């Protein structure tokens, strides 16, 4: 069940490392390639709410295998893309598969593993995605350095086939719902239209891709569609996403309070490889060897997390780790071509450690108040908010670098090291907004979890 998480994290981290090489091959500015990342993440966010409903209708095992097949097919087509529009289109197909395979895999796990073994199962469930994030920069750097960037997509195919084989061989299908709720068609289209228009407007703003009025119109229509969904959800007996679960304080802290942190998580992996390769002149492999430090720091979280929570509690941990995360992001702005690589590696590793501590703490605390009958809505909304935050982070990172480049009198085709420093300062300051939610937690919040 964890193999799709490995696939997804490997794909995202490999893609970030290969961006300059893809841009050169397709003859587009590197910053425009954030379309290939945001289109995938947006597709995830739009189709994710459908996953639980399909699993109940068609069977979780069947949907799980079909989702991996869609993801693998999208990967193959991405590898064959000859233009940016083709790559974006095929990334949307990839996102359709990714939106189904990860939440349905988690659903199978929750239904199959007895409560006495759930903690052990969830620990193992989190290891493959960390390995994927850790291997991705190295893997992507090696592939781009030694062969074509297209192989970063083609290698997903054997991994996908292996995941399908493992599911068919070892997974027993869960029971389908006896009386599944009717599909909220109106709610789905309102959500899809709102999210697509809003992020599309953010993506095209200031890039001369479309006239400014088109971006403003998209932002207005997207906001209107989301408002209509909110009103629709209050009247609907079975909305596709039940927003009333945000009334639970710890869950609201997870979704709303954690949003600035997750935006930074989206921006940083996009900005770092570009800065190291285009700003500092490093090769893709050298860039990958450095940025893998953040994943190593995230993996180390598993060793220290329980001890830190017992010593400080969730509230103090979230406040302290958020401040440190902000400071580490700001410190990235001080990197220069002459900065020792060991210093950059250690800084990024510690940044990855404190950032991961925030995410693990939010994940453990966020669902403590949610009744079991509403858990599917909570996991869907949380996953959707996470994908949206990461998408916005990529858009924000690209927009900040574009603005700084314009201010310096340059252009998107000739980025310099100085163009990235202000972006990391803004990202670091942005994470501080999470403190507003974290300071409102009770000092004893989550005491029963440790």
User: What is the mean pLDDT of the segment spanning 376-401?
Assistant: 78
Amino acid 424: pLDDT: 93
- State yes or no: pLDDT of 206 exceeds 60: no
- Looking at the chain, the whole-number percentage of residues with pLDDT higher than 70 is 88
Which residue's entry shows tokens 């228009």?
197
Is the separation of the CB atoms in 151 and 143 below 8 Å? yes
CA distance linking residue 348 with residue 300, whole number of Å: 13
Amino acid 350: pLDDT: 93
Which residue's entry shows tokens 């403190």?
435
Tokens of 13: 């981290």
- State yes or no: pLDDT of 329 exceeds 90: yes
Angle at 352 between CA 330 and CA 22, to 5 degrees: 85
| pLDDT grade for 103, boundaries at 50, 70 and 90 | confident
Top mean-pLDDT range of 65-74, 113-122, 129-138, 169-178: 65-74
Domain assignments of the chain as residue spans, ordered by start: 1-176, 184-239, 243-450
Residue, of 366 and 165, whose pLDDT is higher: 165
CA distance linking residue 231 with residue 390, whole number of Å: 26
Query: CB-hemisphere CA count at 13 Å for 422?
Result: 15
- Tally helices (H) and strands (E) across the chain: 17, 0
Asked if CATH classification 3.40.50.2000 holds for the domain at 1-176, the reply, yes or no, is no
Q: Which of 19, 20, 11, 17 is nearest to 43 (CA)?
A: 11
- Looking at the chain, the whole-number percentage of residues with pLDDT higher than 90 is 17
Task: Give pLDDT tens digits for 262-278.
Answer: 899 888 887 888 888 88
Is the separation of the CB atoms in 289 and 342 below 8 Å? no
Average pLDDT, the chain: 81
Top mean-pLDDT range of 153-162, 203-212, 430-439: 430-439
Task: Give pLDDT tens digits for 299-311.
Answer: 777 777 777 877 8
Q: SS3 sequence, 16-39? A: HHHHHHHHHHHCCCHHHHHHHHHH
Task: Give pLDDT tens digits for 15-45.
Answer: 767 777 888 888 887 767 767 777 776 787 6
| pLDDT grade for 346, boundaries at 50, 70 and 90 | very high
DSSP state string for 110-159: HHHS-GGGHHHHHHHHHHHHHHHHHHHHHHHHHHHHHS-TTHHHHTHHHH
Q: Provide the residue count of the chain.
A: 450
Q: At what angle do helices 118-146 and 284-332 cross, to 10 degrees?
A: 120
User: What is the mean pLDDT of the segment spanning 71-100?
Assistant: 88
Fold match flag (1-176 vs 243-450): yes
Tokens of 22: 């893809």
User: What is the mean pLDDT of the segment spanning 104-116?
Assistant: 71
Architecture of domain 243-450: Up-down Bundle (1.20)
Q: Which of 106, 77, 114, 102 is nearest to 92 (CA)?
A: 77
Report the chain's terminal Cα–Cα distance, integer Å: 26
CA distance linking residue 299 with residue 305, whole number of Å: 11
Cα distances (angstroms) measured from residue 185 to each of 177, 239, 242, 355, 437: 19, 9, 14, 37, 33
């Amino acid at each position: 069940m964890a193999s799709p998480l490995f696939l997804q994290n490997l794909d995202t981290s490999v893609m970030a490392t290969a961006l300059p090489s893809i841009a050169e091959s397709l003859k587009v500015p590197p910053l425009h390639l954030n379309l290939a990342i945001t289109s995938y993440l947006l597709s995830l966010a739009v189709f994710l709410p459908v996953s639980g409903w399909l699993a109940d209708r068609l069977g979780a095992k069947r949907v799980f295998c079909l989702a991996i097949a869609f993801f693998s097919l999208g990967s193959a087509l991405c590898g064959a893309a000859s233009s940016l529009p083709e790559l974006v289109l095929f990334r949307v197909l990839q996102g359709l598969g990714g939106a189904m395979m990860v939440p349905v895999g988690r659903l199978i796990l929750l239904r199959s593993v007895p409560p006495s073994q759930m903690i052990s199962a969830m620990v193992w469930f989190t290891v493959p995605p960390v390995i994927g994030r850790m291997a991705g920069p190295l893997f992507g750097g090696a592939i781009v350095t030694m062969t074509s960037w297209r192989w970063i997509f083609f290698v997903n195919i054997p991994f996908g086939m292996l995941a399908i084989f493992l599911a068919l061989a070892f997974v027993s299908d869960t029971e389908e719902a006896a009386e599944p709720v009717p599909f909220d068609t109106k709610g789905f289209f309102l959500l899809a239209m709102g999210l697509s228009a809003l992020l599309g407007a953010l993506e095209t703003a200031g890039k001369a891709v479309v006239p400014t009025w088109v971006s403003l119109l998209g932002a207005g229509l997207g906001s209107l569609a989301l408002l209509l969904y909110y009103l629709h959800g209050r009247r609907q007996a079975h909305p596709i996403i039940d927003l009333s679960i945000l009334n639970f304080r710890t869950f609201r802290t997870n979704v709303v309070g954690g949003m600035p942190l997750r935006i930074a998580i989206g921006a940083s992996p996009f900005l770092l490889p570009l800065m190291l390769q285009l700003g500092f002149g490093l090769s893709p492999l050298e860039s990958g060897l450095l940025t893998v430090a953040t994943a190593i720091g995230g993996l180390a979280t598993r060793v220290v997390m329980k001890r830190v929570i017992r010593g400080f509690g969730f509230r103090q941990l979230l406040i302290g780790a958020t401040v440190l995360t902000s400071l580490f992001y700001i410190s990235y702005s001080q990197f220069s071509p002459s900065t020792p690589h060991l210093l950059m590696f250690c800084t990024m590793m510690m940044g990855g450690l404190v950032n991961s501590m925030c995410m693990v703490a939010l994940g453990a605390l966020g669902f403590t108040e949610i009744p079991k009958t509403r858990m599917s809505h909570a996991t869907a909304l949380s996953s959707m908010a996470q994908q949206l935050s990461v998408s916005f982070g990529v858009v924000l990172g690209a927009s900040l670098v574009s603005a700084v480049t314009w201010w310096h009198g340059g252009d998107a085709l000739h980025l310099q090291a100085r163009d990235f420093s202000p972006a990391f300062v803004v990202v670091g300051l942005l994470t501080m907004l999470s403190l507003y939610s974290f300071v409102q937690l009770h000092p004893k919040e989550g005491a029963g979890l440790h």
